[in-house]
Amino acid sequence: MILVTGATGKVGKHVAARLVAEGIAVRALVRDPATAVLPDGVEAVRGDLADPASLTEALAGEEVEGVFLIWPLPGPRGGAEAVAALAEHTRRIVYLSARGVPEDETAQLTEDIFGTHAALERLIRASVAEWTLLRPGGFAGNTLLWAPQIRAGGPVRTAHPQAARTLVHEADIATAAVRALLTDDLVGAAPELTGTELLTQAEQVTVIGEVLGRHIAVEKLSRGQARDDLLAAGLPPAYADGILDAHAEMEAHPETVAPGALELLGRRPLTYRQWVTDHVADFR
């Protein structure tokens, strides 16, 4: 039995589906089992990472061998209680972290995305005998933020059209996660994963337009305008500022391709064009 958190999200749904395909019993932690849309064969259990008591109930019964953990909350508050509740009932946690998390475990934690991941990583390392910290780069799925603009026929609005990233397909993250859950290959490891192609945001928009068969313009925003858009999308201020700072840095110093992706996945990573093709309905 594997418990999957975030099983209705971009990565978790792929992890759950692949585990089922491998013949593994999968339990998904969801707030409302009656409305959760899950892959066939996945058992839905009510629970919330912000409520440790609910985690204990969700983990009761059949022994849970491993947990795929996504931390969806802004900031690490409650993380210690949640990780402790999970670790009490399993021997392995595979955590979806991020590339760029500082390695120095004595460094002061910040309030941004990397600080949150660093805090959860420290808790997990100390909580269970077996852990894997998956550190993917930028998610291709984050470009779904542009989907409403593209569906409306308008330009894509961004402050940093020349920010260059090696975006990773969520299906590749799931492939690495399933390997970490079902084998001992990645125990105690923190593997990085990216795509193999470096694309600016403007080039990403071009790929989306080519797949859709139409031209999509790019409108450059000021930082303030872009920040307002991110806040309107529900991001905390510290997260919005962190994203914009990172994108500004990627204009001068583009992201690099993470080594070891072929070995980690057993194949070449999927391209951004493949991701767009897989999600074309979201942009139409």
Say how far apart CA 27 and CA 36 lie, in whole Å.
12
Residue 87 parent element (H or E): helix 79-87
Say how far apart CA 201 and CA 209 lie, in whole Å.
12
pLDDT of res. 104: 78
The domains found in the chain, sorted by start residue, are 2-136 (3.40.50.720), 138-168+195-256+270-284 (3.40.50.720)
pLDDT of res. 56: 85
pLDDT of res. 111: 73
> Going by C-beta distance under 8 Å and a sequence separation of 6 or more, which residues neighbour residue 128?
87, 90, 91, 92, 93
Q: What is the pLDDT of residues 192-204, one digit of tens each?
A: 999 999 999 999 9
State the average pLDDT over residues 184-212: 97
Is pLDDT at 209 greater than 90 in this prediction?
Answer: yes
Please tell me the pTM assigned to this model: 0.92
State the average pLDDT over residues 208-229: 95
- Is the separation of the CB atoms in 92 and 182 below 8 Å? no
Residues 95-113 as b/e (b if ≥16 CB within 10 A, e otherwise) read bbbbbebeeeeeeeeebbb
pLDDT of res. 59: 86
Q: From 113, 85, 77, 74, select the one nearest 29 (Cα to Cα).
A: 85
State the average pLDDT over residues 235-239: 85
- Is the separation of the CB atoms in 130 and 91 below 8 Å? yes
**Phi–psi pair at 76, nearest 5 degrees:** -90, 5
pLDDT of res. 238: 83
Is pLDDT at 46 greater than 90 in this prediction?
Answer: yes
> 191 by DSSP, 3-state: which?
coil
Q: How confident is the model at residue 102 (pLDDT cuts 50, 70, 90)?
A: confident
pLDDT of res. 129: 83
pLDDT of res. 276: 98
pLDDT of res. 61: 75
CA quadruple 166, 171, 173, 177: dihedral, nearest 10: -170
Q: Report the chain's C-alpha Rg in angstroms.
A: 19
State the average pLDDT over residues 73-94: 91
Bridge partners of 67, per DSSP, are: 3, 93
State the average pLDDT over residues 2-7: 95
pLDDT of res. 108: 74
pLDDT of res. 160: 95
Average of per-residue pLDDT values in the chain: 93
Say how far apart CA 94 and CA 79 lie, in whole Å.
15
Q: What is the pLDDT of residues 105-149, one digit of tens each?
A: 777 777 788 889 999 999 999 998 899 999 999 999 999 999 999
Q: How confident is the model at residue 234 (pLDDT cuts 50, 70, 90)?
A: confident
CA 266 to chain centre: 20
pLDDT of res. 147: 96
Q: What is the pLDDT of residues 241-268, one digit of tens each?
A: 988 999 999 999 999 999 999 999 999 9
